[in-house]
Amino acid sequence: MSRFLIVGLGNIGEEYKHTRHNIGFDIVDHLSQKLDVSFSSDRLADVAEAKYKGRQLTLIKPTTYMNLSGKAVLYWKNYFKLPVENILVVVDELAFPLGQFKLHPKGSNGGHNGLKSIEESLQTTQYPRLRFGIGNNFPKGKQVEYVLGKWKDEEWKIVQEKLPLCSDAILCFVFEGLQNAMNKYNSLK
């Protein structure tokens, strides 16, 4: 049975819940609900196990804080002896408008500390990711406040509309492969 590691990036703690930087957690939480599994604390992450169409999914939300996400990803990659192409990292993306998301086979970290940490731990940029647009509607010098800020009500409505699509895109990646998932979901507005 093929196994996949789905990694939602975010920060632990109530103060970070439903912030823009925690969209990875929110998407993986939505997926866990869709698959009817729940998280429990384990090594370096909250972990949920699910089966989907003959595939084994391990969903993780690193408990290392964003800047050390790579420690958790490396631990679980090695624990299951997974190739990097069976790992999907779900991350917030400033360069995309709110609600736009895309799957990518690889890429730069774009200054994202979570991706930097994963890159350092895995020693590669060649791992799949789902990048979810959080927009960049903030004044100069206020990026940190914006990224760590809570969604406005109207933004949260858009996010909630996109969560099911993101979950579907992840399951398509798992079952049909990255290229098919990119073809189906990357053109959606």
Instruction: Express the helix, strand and coil content of the chain in percent, nearest 5 each.
Output: 45, 25, 35
DSSP letter, residue 165:
H
Residue 151 confidence (pLDDT): 96
Amino acid letter for position 119:
E
160: number of Cβ within 10 Å? 13
**Number of helical H runs and strand E runs in the chain:** 6, 7
Structure-token match 């002896």, residue found? 81
Phi and psi angles of residue 106, each rounded to the nearest 5 degrees, phi first: -170, 180
Distance CA 155, CA 174 (A): 28
CA 31 to chain centroid, in Å, comes to 11
Residue 1 confidence (pLDDT): 73
Residue 81 confidence (pLDDT): 97
Q: How far apart, in Å, are the Cα atoms of 126 and each of 97, 104, 107, 115?
A: 24, 9, 7, 11
Nearest of 61, 66, 59, 132 to residue 98 by alpha carbon: 132
Distance CA 161, CA 38 (A): 22
Q: For the chain, which residues make up each domain, given as ranges?
A: 3-185
Amino acid letter for position 22:
N
Compute mean pLDDT per 10 residues along the chain, 189 residues long, and list them.
95 96 98 98 98 96 96 98 97 96 96 96 97 94 94 96 98 97 91
Residue 188 confidence (pLDDT): 82
Q: CATH classification of 3-185, choosing from 3.40.50.720, 1.10.357.10, 3.40.50.1470, 3.30.70.270? A: 3.40.50.1470
112 is catalytic: no
Q: Are 76 and 59 in contact (CB under 8 A)?
A: no
Nearest of 47, 75, 80, 43 to residue 61 by alpha carbon: 47
Among residues 18, 21, 104, 112, the one annotated as catalytic is 21
